[in-house]
Amino acid sequence: MNNIDRIRKELSAERRNKIEARAAELIAEEMSLRELRRAHKLTQERIAEALEIGQDQVSRLEQRSDLLISTLRSYIEAMGGRLTLIAEFPNRQPVVLSGIGSIGIEPSRQRTRVTGARRTSTTKETIREQLMASDPEYQRLREEHANYAAQLEQLASKRFLNEQEQVDEVRLKKLKSRTKDRMQMIVRREQSV
């Protein structure tokens, strides 16, 4: 028996429960982007749609440890939140930093970019709707994609995955990504016609 086990054994059940509760609070205060998204019951697909990027890009973004503040701000806003940066110094009150993440981009240019992206998104959305109504291959791919997403969400809801579930998760992500790529190829083909 090591020291930690011996100390735990000596504690009362009430004290152990308090320690475990505080540990859970501390863990909850720090979350990765993936954990934060899951806590809000959002899928990578939903975030990708809000950011107008691919689901695979959201996956890569969630795995990065070094992000541009503007990228982080966009991600948080896509979840319905607001990013606030606070600088803390010893023996001083915390200071909220403002204007960071949009430095160097004039507000009028920002709006133009968003408007242009929305216009492109609307065109793509119209094409997707037409394909869902008329293209059997696109319909099949969309159904497969939704099926993979549902299976991944089911795995994501589990606190821990066993080895087989981890293998399944990787396989499903690859299949979902390939299906999405094939769907995007069909949309691009239709755009060019």
Condensed to tens digits (0 to 9), the pLDDT of residues 77-128 reads 888 888 888 888 898 888 888 776 543 333 333 333 333 444 444 477 788 8
Q: Domain span at residue 128?
A: 121-193
Q: Are 58 and 32 in contact (CB under 8 A)?
A: no
Rounded distance between C-alpha atoms, residue 124 and residue 118, angstroms: 10
Residue 102: CB atoms within 10 A of its CB come to 13
> Per-residue confidence at 45, pLDDT binned at 50, 70, 90?
very high
In this prediction, residue 110 carries a pLDDT of: 38
- C-alpha angle with apex 183: 170 to 118, nearest 5 degrees? 110
Write the CATH number for 65.
1.10.260
In this prediction, residue 117 carries a pLDDT of: 40
Condensed to tens digits (0 to 9), the pLDDT of residues 19-31 reads 888 877 766 667 7
Share of the chain above pLDDT 90, in %: 8
Is 21 within the bounds of a domain?
A: no
Report whether pLDDT(193) > 80: no
Is 7 within the bounds of a domain?
A: no
Q: What is this structure's pTM?
A: 0.42
Element (H, E) at 14: helix 13-29
> Same domain, yes or no, for 49 and 77?
yes
In this prediction, residue 87 carries a pLDDT of: 87
Domains of the chain: total: 2
In this prediction, residue 175 carries a pLDDT of: 92
Condensed to tens digits (0 to 9), the pLDDT of residues 123-182 reads 777 888 888 888 899 999 989 988 898 898 888 888 888 999 989 999 999 999 899 889
Is 17 within the bounds of a domain?
A: no
Structure tokens at 108: 């009028």
In this prediction, residue 1 carries a pLDDT of: 62
Domain boundary among 51, 78, 104: 104
Is 22 within the bounds of a domain?
A: no
In this prediction, residue 112 carries a pLDDT of: 31
What does the H/E/C string look like for 93-150? CCEEECCCCCCCCCHHHHHHHHHHHHHHHHHHHHHHHHHHHHCHHHHHHHHHHHHHHH
Structure tokens at 101: 């993440």
